[in-house]
Amino acid sequence: ATDLCSTMKFSAVAALFAVATSTSTTGASAFSPAAGRFAARPLAAALYSVATEQSGEAATESFRLNFKGEDGAALSPWHDIPLKGDGGYNMVVEIPKMTKAKMEVATKEENNPIAQDIKKGNLRDYHGPIFWNYGCLPQTWEDPNEEHPELKVFGDDDPIDVVEIGSKALEMGTVTEVKPLGVLAMIDDGELDWKVVAVAVDDPLAKEYNDIDDVPEAVKAGIREWFRWYKTPDDKPLNGFGFDEEYLDAAVAEKVIAETHESWKKLKAGDSDAGKLWLA
């Protein structure tokens, strides 16, 4: 009964904000046909292009989306793609909007391919679609060894997350330049898990949105409530948020990104405990 109640509550939250926060988008699977072929994706800030190539079968534990440079050599989307492009920050898209598979850059695997998260031996799916494009910023790291001075929690040991609120679905594995608009300090299982809200620089909304106050309240509330409730169908507690649950503005978002970039530099230099993370 508890699981059913949590699922119903999550579904109600999802339905409430789907109308306010998303445009009509077809396709309910993260595993688009393009993921199965070798596809070059130019990076404006780099002197090379990045490509993706699938190995393993979609929607199985074997699936991996691997990244390669223009010379065909393997590269890490976390460590080798630059943080910034010519027009914004480079977002690595892990989960396209309106899909449910919980895909992520595998930080502990060689070359950090995108894979589907596994919990208790099962592939992890959200209980409802996510209404925005979701991914991370390369060359950032939320240091689990460093306590936030105000929030008194430690980082979650991952690259910083991005919620891209543009009008179109972005394919898994694409590298898209985005403009940060604000940031939300989510507290997940006692860990700090920043959510950068951003818009793709080539999206029509980028002309309208320059800071968090430009984003409609329904969109901001939808993001916060989705992330508050999304784990409850698995009998997990509600997630919380720092700073009185308020969004911090674009200037603070860029400061947070810069701090996580510095943490990544220390990690790569061997000045921070890497644990099981793959860095080479």
Closest CA to 92 of 38, 140, 23: 140
Tokens of 236: 């997990």
Report the distance separating Cα 196 and Cα 186, nearest Å: 10
Which residue out of 48, 89, 126, 230 is catalytically annotated?
Answer: 126
CA end-to-end span of the chain? 47
Q: 126 catalytic, yes or no?
A: yes
Closest CA to 141 of 258, 2, 18: 258
Tokens of 82: 């630059």
Outline where the chain has alpha helix (H). 2-21, 217-229, 250-269
Report the distance separating Cα 11 and Cα 229, nearest Å: 9
Tokens of 259: 């701090």
Neighbouring residues of 182: CB distance < 8 A, sequence distance ≥ 6: 196, 197, 211, 212, 215, 247, 248, 249, 250, 252, 253
- Asked whether the beta carbons of 218 and 165 are under 8 A apart, the reply is no
- The set of catalytic residues is 126
